[in-house]
């Protein structure tokens, strides 16, 4: 009374299952076609006409969908680049261990005590900081001359003088701490270091009074 015979039910189930398999297979082909931004020849060559109509009935919608996918991919790539740039951390703080030491004329300062070196930009064998990533950096240098002496320190960026630090302690006077603070843009691989600017050997105070530090404010995208 209206019920299908058992053999007809089996045919309906088999046909439905077959149709679903065809739909799923063609959907995968469509996704692959759209992601490659190619034409739909693969879909037309492998899917029955009835299923092609499901996917290709309105070609303009397919084209619009592909354009939206490409736009979303571009936005995702841009956001990913911004996130990676913002998550980069570079910072270092170094000083000289000896309480008093002598700098060679025009010699580079070698800060042998590394307190912080996130990003491994500072090299204690050369006294130089090398930018691991391109971006805007801040540097701070402290200097202090020994008794009755004068210290002139220069900060170099790839061989160019960009700042200086001066300390002078006359006899019987208080200690004089010189400080230099600068903000510069560095490309990855550029170097910053400090150098004794005196034409003769200079005795200086070390320890906490002779320091070199810097950090990345913002990495380039």
Q: Where are the domains of the chain?
A: 6-85, 88-219
The backbone torsions φ and ψ at residue 199, rounded to the nearest 5 degrees and listed phi first, read -80, -5
pLDDT tens by residue, the chain, 221 residues: 445 455 444 444 455 566 666 666 666 666 665 554 445 566 566 666 665 665 555 566 667 777 777 777 777 777 766 666 667 899 999 999 998 888 888 999 999 999 999 999 999 999 999 999 999 999 999 999 887 688 899 999 999 999 999 988 776 677 788 999 999 999 999 999 999 998 888 888 888 899 999 999 999 87
- Looking at 2.60.120.40, 1.10.150.120, 2.102.10.10, 2.60.40.10, the CATH number of the domain 88-219 comes to 2.60.120.40
C-alpha distance from residue 129 to each of 70, 103, 113, 156, 164 (Å):
41, 19, 14, 10, 17
- Dist. CA 153–CA 157, nearest whole Å: 14
């Amino acid at each position: 009374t209206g019920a299908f015979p058992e053999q007809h039910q089996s045919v309906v189930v088999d046909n439905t299952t077959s149709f679903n398999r065809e739909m799923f297979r063609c959907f995968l082909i469509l996704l692959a076609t759209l992601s490659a931004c190619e034409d739909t020849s693969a879909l037309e060559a492998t899917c029955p006409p009835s299923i092609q109509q499901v996917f290709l009935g309105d070609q303009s919608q397919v084209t619009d969908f592909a354009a939206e996918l490409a736009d979303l991919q571009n936005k995702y790539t841009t956001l990913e680049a911004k996130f990676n740039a913002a998550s980069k951390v570079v910072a270092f703080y170094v000083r000289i261990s000896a309480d008093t030491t002598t700098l060679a004329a025009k010699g580079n300062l070698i800060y042998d005590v590394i307190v912080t070196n996130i990003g491994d930009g500072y090299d204690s064998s050369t006294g130089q900081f090398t930018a691991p990533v391109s971006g805007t950096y801040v540097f701070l240098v402290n200097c202090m001359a020994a008794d009755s002496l004068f210290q002139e320190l220069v900060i170099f960026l790839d061989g160019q003088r960009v700042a200086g630090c001066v300390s002078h302690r006359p006899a019987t006077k208080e200690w004089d701490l010189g400080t230099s603070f600068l903000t510069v843009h560095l490309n990855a691989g550029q170097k910053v270091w400090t150098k004794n600017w005196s034409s003769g050997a200079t005795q200086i105070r070390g320890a906490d009074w002779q320091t070199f530090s810097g950090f990345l404010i913002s990495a380039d995208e």
